[in-house]
Amino acid sequence: MAGLVNRLRRITLSRINAFLETVEEPEMIFPQLVREMKRGIGDAVKAESKAAAAVKADQRRLDESTGRSIRLAKGAELALRQGDESLAREALAEQVKADRLSKDQAHALQLSEAALLEARDLRVHLERQLEELKRRKKEIIARSRSAKRAAGTYRDTGKIRAAGAGILDEVSRMQQTEEANGKNPEPAGRPPGTFERSLEDRLRILEREAEIERRLNSIREKKQSTRTHSVPDRRILG
């Protein structure tokens, strides 16, 4: 989708004008241009629909993980209440995993929401460009003819059609900067050694165990607090 967005976002009225100034008969190529603009809008609509489905799916997965985390927390509390600390620890270990998964899913949801917004903005952008293109058809063609006569150069419309070249592709390529071509991919970093990976694994295990212990103690404190408040004061009763 990124390639589609980048290509279609470069389609602006000023760039269309610049392209039409280079063709032999701008009025002959105008209908094809309009058709391609409509197809571009259709592509943007499909991208928007796909992004909306991704948002819905990511939200559903996040809700499921969040709900599972809540159920595991309640299960751990119930197990500790029944004196089964081993089961409580197991439930809390699964809750830690569920919470980490929820964090990743929340990030994925943010990305899909951003993609949806980008696709929607693209669709609106193209719709506005097409509307303006139709409204200013006569003015654009007259200006293109005038500029062509002044420059004395043009592209043969027939050759463009024979080659099967897309007008929007031509418009998009006209204004591409050399920045993209000048970028060199960053060299891949050296993969961590066995010792480094082993250390990271051990540290992650320690972090997970510490988090389980923290949650277990929290349940214990909550349980103790409940007991303290539930025991009547004998001095008052006496």
8 A C-beta contact, residue 40 and residue 8:
yes
Q: Domain map of the chain by residue range?
A: 2-177
CA 196, CA 193: separation in Å to the nearest integer? 5
Nearest to 169 by CA among 19, 57, 50, 41: 19
pLDDT band at 213 (very low <50, low <70, confident <90, very high): confident
Could you identify the residue written with the tokens 């559903």? Answer: 60
Tell me the β-bridge partners of 155.
23
CA 208, CA 238: separation in Å to the nearest integer? 49
CA 12, CA 21: separation in Å to the nearest integer? 14
- Quick: pLDDT tens for 58-114: 999 999 999 999 999 999 999 988 889 999 999 999 999 999 999 999 999 999 999
Residue 206 reports pLDDT greater than 70: yes
Q: What is the pLDDT of residue 177?
A: 45
Q: What is the pLDDT of residue 200?
A: 67
pLDDT band at 5 (very low <50, low <70, confident <90, very high): low
More confident residue, 224 or 125: 125
8 A C-beta contact, residue 63 and residue 197:
no
Q: What is the pLDDT of residue 1?
A: 57
Q: What is the pLDDT of residue 238?
A: 45
Tell me the β-bridge partners of 23.
155
- Quick: pLDDT tens for 100-159: 999 999 999 999 999 999 889 889 988 988 888 888 888 777 776 666 555 554 555 544
Residue 16 reports pLDDT greater than 70: yes
8 A C-beta contact, residue 54 and residue 112:
yes
CA 48, CA 2: separation in Å to the nearest integer? 12
- Quick: pLDDT tens for 185-199: 444 444 444 344 566
Q: What is the pLDDT of residue 172?
A: 67
Could you identify the residue written with the tokens 């081993």? Answer: 86
